[in-house]
Amino acid sequence: MRIGLTYDLRDVYLARGYTDDEVAEFDSAETVQALEGALAALGHEPVHIGHVHNLIERVARGERWDLVFNFAEGVHGCGREAQVPAVLEACDIPYTFSDPLVLAVCLHKGVAKHVVRDCGIPTPDFAIVEQLADVERVRLPFPLFVKPVAEGSSKGVSDASLVRDATELAAGCRALLDRYKQPVLAEAFLPGREFTVGIAGTGATASALGVMEIHLGREAEASGYSRENKIFYESRVSYTPLEDGKRAEAIDVALAAWRALGCRDAGRVDLRCNASGGVEFMEVNPLAGLNPVHSDLVILCRLEGIGYQDLIARILAHAVERTRSG
């Protein structure tokens, strides 16, 4: 197949004056080259497209591809991850991963949690703080955890995210509202073990690629898998495949959330245990990172004996099967 590659390259936006934090979710040349190499090794012809504006220009000129491998994050707004898929759907071009509705819903953590909770899937109680005055209406027991409602790569997550009283809640929300110019998700803090589940497939055909437990070391920020912990993961974090009695429970919760939200082809569901040890949904990443070295989905697969090229082959197989049967 002739496969187009849509992506947002970190260096392109840094050159335009964006900050490191603003481009934290974007891809490096290493990721694009690794994906290009995997597709070529599988016998396909990869074609670089890049960001949504390049895509619009090329489809306007009449260019088409057999499939687009989409991992573009977008830049602005809660619908940013939906922009490339929306253009592709308008042009009737098949693509990998979830559709515009699912990507927009999943990026907004509050909306995703509403869907998950309404489907009976365990997730921490939460409130959305649109403006600082909303803090007074939060009626949840402390401690709470606060983070931007529509960011990935743990942006805005640090030890300051764990708040223990109303004063800390107000301070934490104020800082996030000022910095990210978007609502804040405040949710009951889950103090237990943390897992991420890799998933491949769509709907009834979806299955777990594996389950990885995240262990924070002595030098790590202690409250969770923060932005700083992810950046310095080699010295602060260790990962192990989950093989004990929690594995089945984690897979059940993750697959239930994946299906409830309508996610497709491949991605990752993040989970954490409550004080009683029960597994609860935190968030889903339907457009998971694919860096060959440090992306969580790739690390998880590596621990489960699934190589990078094999992972890409599985994603493609699910996308092709879905688009042909749909």
Q: Are 32 and 140 in the same domain?
A: no
- Kindly state the average pLDDT of the residues 238-255: 96
Query: CB of 81 within 8 A of CB of 97?
Result: no
Last residue of a domain, one of 95, 110, 145: 95
The type of residue at 97 is: F
Q: Are 206 and 304 in the same domain?
A: yes
Q: Are 129 and 242 in the same domain?
A: no
Number of separate domains in the chain: 3
Q: Are 300 and 208 in the same domain?
A: yes
Q: State residue 231's pLDDT score.
A: 85
Q: Are 266 and 301 in the same domain?
A: yes
Question: What is the span of the domain harbouring residue 285?
Answer: 194-325
Q: State residue 325's pLDDT score.
A: 76
Does any domain span residue 100? no
Residue 153 has pLDDT above 80, yes or no: no
Render pLDDT for 189-207 as a digit per residue (tens, 0 to 9).
999 999 999 999 999 999 9
Query: CB of 301 within 8 A of CB of 289?
Result: no
The percentage of the chain sitting over the pLDDT mark of 90, rounded to a whole number, equals 87
Q: Are 200 and 296 in the same domain?
A: yes
Q: Are 285 and 179 in the same domain?
A: no
Nearby residues of 324 by Cβ (< 8 Å), 6 or more positions away: none
Average pLDDT, the chain: 95
The percentage of the chain sitting over the pLDDT mark of 70, rounded to a whole number, equals 100
Q: State residue 155's pLDDT score.
A: 87
Question: Considering the entire predicted model, what is its pTM?
Answer: 0.94
- Kindly state the average pLDDT of the residues 275-289: 97
Query: CB of 258 within 8 A of CB of 199?
Result: yes
Report the CATH number at residue 137.
Answer: 3.30.1490.20
